[in-house]
A and B are shown apart, each in its own frame.
Chain A
Amino acid sequence: MGARTEFSPQTMWVLAALCEQPSGWQHGYALARQTGLKSGTLYPILIRLADRGLVEACWQEEPVPGRPRRHLYRLTADGFARATAALAEAELARSEVRPGTSPRRGRRGTAPAVS
């Protein structure tokens, strides 16, 4: 039985990716590469997180010449607290279910260490 949190597994992957740079802004393509999610899955998740006030978004004001401005994302303070709690809870649940086995995250990579 998997860990039950308020977030879906895909959302947890996005939160984990955002938690890696809690104060830094990340763009969608970087998050897609980190999580392995496609744009059609990643962006609806980011929209829901932003609607819930867990993620804030902004437009890059001074774009790199030759490419459009980027839309950037990072966790809010509340989002970071909720994300770390949810990731820790998921980690704990996985270790309780399968003691001695490594947490399984599929092909998406492993969850970052949550301090």
Chain B
Amino acid sequence: MSWLGPVAAAAGRVAVRLLPAARRDWAEAVWAEAHDVPAGWPRLAWRTGGVLLIAKEGQMARRIGILLLGAVAAGAAAWGAWPGSAGSLSHGAADQGDVIITLALLACLPLLTRWLLGPPDSRAARRLRACFYAAILAIMPAKAAAEMFVGAVPRGGIDRHTFDLVTQGNPLPGSISGGPDWGGEILILFITACYLAVILALTARRTPVAPATLAVGARAGLVLGLVMYAVDPLGVDQIATNPWLHGSATDPLVALAWVLLFGAPMAAGALAGSRGYVPRHPGQAPTVRAWPGFAAGLVSNGVGALTVTALGISTTALMLKSAWMRGWLYHGQHLTASAVYGRELYASGNVAFYAVICVGFPIIGLIMGLAGAGYASVTGPQPGSGDPGGPPGPGEPEPAPDPPPGGRLTDTGARTALRAG
């Protein structure tokens, strides 16, 4: 059993790395003191206390809970998206690849970002990441259900007639006749990877984006996404769009959606630019304001695009499977079975258009966020005016306390000889 002590000590030193940097000294202290504890059970009990300390201070229960929750959600999404029906056989390989690569991205990109840029260090950052993960996991099975529906070509009858009418003789991508849409799948995976990489980078510790900027952008984006979803719950199509609005381009809600598409990132950029700006020297204003504006605009329309995409594709998938959803969407309308099939086909075919939204919205957000930051730099307080244009920052750090006689303070790192005992 003599090997047990060194092994436990080595395991302890590794386990200490699980703690936040500010807590590692304390766990190392437990391990250091174990040297003086009598060997055998007392020392084992002492080290067990150290393990409990690491578990408690490292919030291991919370971390394990989040990991399990994520694994269960990912498993459920993969199970829902995995091709298994006859209708999806033609593009089964594409769907399988979609599921596997999406899950690999979700698992690997955070590790890569953590290594390069550090972990998220604010509640806003963690929440934003969780929402992006939830949206991507929700989209995966919903998109598969819509593609499966499009791919299931009716054998005959009026449904086949409707199918031919909707597709106008052109085989739909993903259908038995059209074959797997590899290009589309690769594009969607690329967009997913970009979204994940950008949000992980913006929420990492070493990226200079304030939590307030993330919060402003996320709130603006949520409003944009919800209004867009209210306008187009079944994709952007004159037939499939919100039946309550009758596809009217002059409906106030449609006008509001257009205003928000350009106004939300601009407002978020202006707000973030004015809040996150602390003048240090003349001439610094434009660049200093530009970064929060850029980040807020990107987050705003990224969140908006992901919100409308997740809600829209999920609504389409539910519509295909739930009579209740069809009744909610087309309440008061008496539709024949063939008409219902036609609308389902339109909605399922529109799913691909969300890729355009996911590409276009963030580009608009970037431009408008920068414009908002530029507006804030023109109208906001100028360098040297004495007003930082936002809430007071943390200011200068307080001077470190004097080190103890002959020692160094744990947190300051001051090194002075200590002659103990």
Binding site for B on A (CB under 8 A): 25, 27-29, 32, 38-44, 46-47, 50, 56-62, 64, 67-72, 74
Contacts and interface: CB of A to CB of B under 8 A. Distances in A.
A61 B415 contact: yes
A43 B29 CA distance: 9
Contacts of A61: 406-408, 415-418
B400 to A, nearest CB: 12
Contacts of B408: 58-59, 61
A49 B420 CA distance: 22
Contacts of B47: 39
Nearest to B406: A61
Given A67-B35, A70-B33, A71-B26, A59 B49 contact: no
Given A59-B25, A59-B408, A72-B407, A40 B53 contact: yes
B159 interface: no
A40 B408 CA distance: 25
B363 interface: no
B237 to A, nearest CB: 57
B67 interface: no
B53 A43 contact: yes
Residue of A39, A67, A71 with most chain B CB atoms under a 10 A cut-off? A39
- Secondary structure type dominating chain A contacts: mixed
Interface string B12-31: 00000000000101101111
Contact of B419 (A59, A62, A67): A62
Contacts, number: 104
B113 to A, nearest CB: 29
B302 interface: no
B238 interface: no
Contacts of A68: 31-32, 35
Residue of B29, B49, B419 with most chain A CB atoms under a 10 A cut-off? B29
B45 interface: yes
A71 B401 CA distance: 18
B167 interface: no
Given A40-B52, A71-B28, 14 more contacts: A27-B33, A29-B37, A38-B45, A38-B49, A39-B47, A39-B49, A56-B401, A58-B409, A59-B408, A61-B407, A62-B419, A69-B32, A72-B404, A72-B420
A39 B23 contact: no
Given A39-B30, A69-B32, A71-B29, A59 B37 contact: no
B47 to A, nearest CB: 8
B133 interface: no
B46 A60 contact: no
A71 B410 contact: yes
B120 to A, nearest CB: 22
